[in-house]
Every structure is written in structure tokens, then in C-alpha cells.
Structure 1
């Protein structure tokens, strides 16, 4: 089996790199199509895969195909490939707002499709992806898609009606975390630490705390309590964050992003 990508942008290259590093596919078993020669050349140099300017050539050589193009290009791309789609093809679509119903309408016939919402940490092998297969995808094909997605992070099956909240939490979430890291680093600089060192301390702290949640299985509140000694420094900091409405602000931010995702789909 061979793997294809229609679109060779940043996210596609991040996925390819994780897949190759995990040993799921060899570079010679991956095809990537892009209309821009610069994108093709960079992809060839970085990941060593087969590149082409023909989307149809990808379909001719691959049975599993990622649609890694911008949402506005979906209609045109699918129009150009739909007559070449066969029962062997499994499509994995990462287009924001491009629902399974939209994809079915564009293809105009039964096509095995898995809708995916990834996020940018896929670029460093720590992505979080939600996946939703349509009714034509078998259990074996669903597992194949999950294995590929897990090569550059973590992936879970999620009903499509929750994709907007996925967008609010994990899709947009890296931006919230970057802001938190920046704020922690600013405080460190205010206290006398060098800027570069401040970013390292703040980012590594976030990374370590996140791993503790995932690997211990403990509730985040329990982990917070473990480090909050009576009359200590941590509980003093927690008090100030609570006074500033940290939790409420984060909840409102995620909610706003979710509502925007819903509004963008209804506006299409």
C-alpha cells in the first residue's frame, strides 16, 4: 500500500516526516502533489518522497490519500479527481469546515472518507487529531487512518457533531498555550531572567505538566493540589490567577472559538 498527499504545505510535510520517522511508510512509498514547483522541491528535499504536479497521478499510485489543501480549493481539486476515484481509495481530509456531507456532495458518489481535525503541534510529532469516518469506511480502514495519525501525535475517533468544540479546544488551543508561555516568560524577565532562558523555563514547565496529566492519569486538580503546599508560593500564585479569572477566561476563549467555527460553517 502507498500513501498520497494532495497538497505539500507545512502541515503535509510535518505529517510525512512523522510517518516516515515512525516507519509506517518508506519515502519511496509516499507521493505528494502540488501545483507549485517550490513546494514540490522543498518536499522532495525534506522528506525524499515522490513528487508530481498531477493530483491524478497520486490517485493512480496510492490507495490512501490525504487532502491537505486549503478549504477554498476543495471543490476544484475534487472536481479534477473524482472521475479517477475507485473503491480502493481511502481519503483523509483535514480541511477545516469541510464536513463529510460537503465532501460527499463534491464527489457525487460513495467515497470512503475520514474527516480529521489536526493541530499544529503535528509539526513536532505531538499533534492531537480528531477523526470521523463516513459510513463507507471499514473498521480496518479506520484503524489504518488512526495508525497514520498517531505517527505524528495522538488521534481519537470523535463524532462529527463535536468537531466544532474540537476546533475550540485542540485546533485553536496551541495559541492559548503560546500566550500562557509568553506571559510566564514575561514575568520571569520582569524578575531578572534572560529572555531566551525564560522561554525555556516556561515552555519546559508546560511540557512537563502536560505529560504528567497524560501519563499519570491523575485529575489536573489533584496534580495542582500536590504542588500547592500550605502557605506556600504555589498557592499564593494560584490565588492571584483565580482572582484574575483565569479559568473563566479560558472557558470563554474556547467557547468563542467554538462558536466562531459553527458560524463559519453556517456561512458557507
Structure 2
């Protein structure tokens, strides 16, 4: 199945009488980014969210935001309708063993863990558990995220549109086959890190050539943001937009030549490949642990 966007009205979930109680099993940076993004959107208030973690360190920020917090995972599952698995991949088996018996058909379980398949999660939960696998990214915190989700075997008709609505508030969201998810993680899930390295390197170049650091960082960040928007809004292929900047015999084509000599494109392609293969390794490990 090809990736597809699901149309939603974008109005406040509460106005549609669809407002679920949302719980984060895990309260790290990923959970914090998503919670902040939902609050920033103005469509999901903090009182509709809950988070659990064994220590107070990660819960402090969420508490300050008005999100209800607990140290008891079972309490969260018993309180919430939508349960987000927001822990590191290696923690998923232990977490599912702890809360699995408390999950029932009334829950929608949304996994945010890289490399952990829907099939594996379903195998650790009671028969009929409704499972969705989603891969958002950290720009969700400013409602400029990119998310892809896939649905499991027991989801109900309403579950896809609900997930779509939740993640649409965080930016761009589409539904796709689970076979896409590892590549999605490698492109958009890990992609912000590649962009931050690029901004940092551009700023370093500016500093080398005499720009103050703060100005160089702002110019680099704004340039990447503006370029990304131009790709999305113009509908042109990135190569065509690149050609528009490169005058014959000019400074930009000279710079592009240096990027090619340094293997810039090759490095990015191989970075995506490496991240995707790492996720597939996690898939294989989870499949082995199920046997």
C-alpha cells in the first residue's frame, strides 16, 4: 500500500467529542516534544495527557507543563484510552510484560519505538489489542513535524483517523505500510540530526570566513528552513531548485563542486542507509526475543 494522507477537519478533538485520555509510557525527550507540540497546537490541553516514568527527573518538565504524572505504569494504562509507548526500543519487551495484562480492546496502543514491529507488540499483548506504530520526529515540538503511521490487525475503523488527527496537529502526517517505517525513521526520524549537523557546519564555515557565530547560525538555520519550504511549496524537484541558484561559472557551482568532491551526497545517502539497517537489526533482535 502506498503512503497516503487521510483527510481530517483539523478542528479541536474535544469539539468532535473524540478527546481521548492520552498516556505516555516513558517521559523522555520524545514524549516531552510531542506533549509540547500538542499543547502548542492549542487542540490538546495538558489535562488530557498523563505520563509515567520510574523517576522524577523526566517527569519534572511535564509536571511543570500541567501534564498529570505518575510513577506507576499500570495506573497510567488503567486511566488512559490512548497509550503511547515512548521508551527506548530495548525497554519495550520489559514494559509490555509489565503492562500487557492491563491492556484490553478499549485501549489504542501507539508505539513510537524504532525497530519494534507491530507483530512483535501484538504478540506480547492480549489477543485483539489495537496497535499502531508511528514514527514522528522532534520538530513536532513546534508543530513542524513529519510523521508516518501504520495500523495493526485489530484496529477499529475509527483508529486510523484518530491517529491521523493527533499527529496532524504536530505537522505533516500520512499513513503507510509498516514496511516503510524503518526507511521513514532513517529519513525523517533521524533527519533533524542531519539538518542540525548541516546548520552547525554552515555556521562554522561562516565563522571561518569572518561572520560572528550568532549571525552565522541564524543565517544557516533560516536558509535551511526557507529552502525546505521552497521545496514543499514550489512543487519543483530539489535538483531543479539547486540549478536555479547555480549561475554559469559562479560561486555556487564552485561550492557544489566542493561538496561533490567531499562526498556530501554519498554521505547523506549512506547515513540514511545506516540508520535504516540499524532499525532492521532491532527488528531482527525483537523477533528473536519472541521465540
Contact 2:103 2:126 in 1 (8 A): no
| 1:22 and 2:41 correspond | yes
Higher RCO by CA contacts (8 Å cutoff, separation 6 or greater):
2
Unaligned runs of at least 5 residues, structure 2: 1-19, 287-291
- Give the one of 62, 72, 91 matched to 1:73: 91
Displacement after TM superposition at 1:37 (Å)? 2.4
**Aligned residue in 2 for 1:117:** 135
How far residue 111 of structure 1 moved from its aligned partner, in angstroms, is: 0.7
- The total of aligned residue pairs comes to 267
Gaps of 5+ in 1: none
Q: How does 1:1-268 map to 2 (within 5 A)?
A: 1-45=20-64, 47-268=65-286
- TM-score when scaled to structure 2? 0.85
**Counterparts of 1:240 and 1:59, CA distance in 2:** 54
Q: Measure how far apart 1:210 and its partner are.
A: 0.6
Could you tell me whether the CA contact under 8 Å between 2:149 and 2:176 is conserved in 1?
A: yes
Query: Cα offset for 1:103?
Result: 0.2
Preserved contact between residue 114 and residue 182 of structure 2 (Cα < 8 Å): no
What does the per-residue CA deviation read over 1:159-181, in whole Å, with 9 as the maximum and x for residues that have no partner? 11122222221222222222222
Report the structure, 1 or 2, having the larger helix content: 1
User: SS in structure 1 opposite 2:50?
Assistant: strand
* Superposed CA RMSD: 1.8
The alpha carbon displacement at 1:156 in A equals: 1.6
Equivalent residues of 2:145, 2:170 under 8 A apart: yes
After superposing on structure 2, the runs of 4+ consecutive aligned residues of structure 1 that deviate more than 6 Å are: none
SS, match of residue 38 in structure 1: coil
Aligned equivalents of 1:125 and 1:230: distance in 2? 39
TM-score (norm 1): 0.92
Is this contact kept in 1: 2:52–2:72, CA < 8 A?
A: yes
Shift of 1:9: 1.4
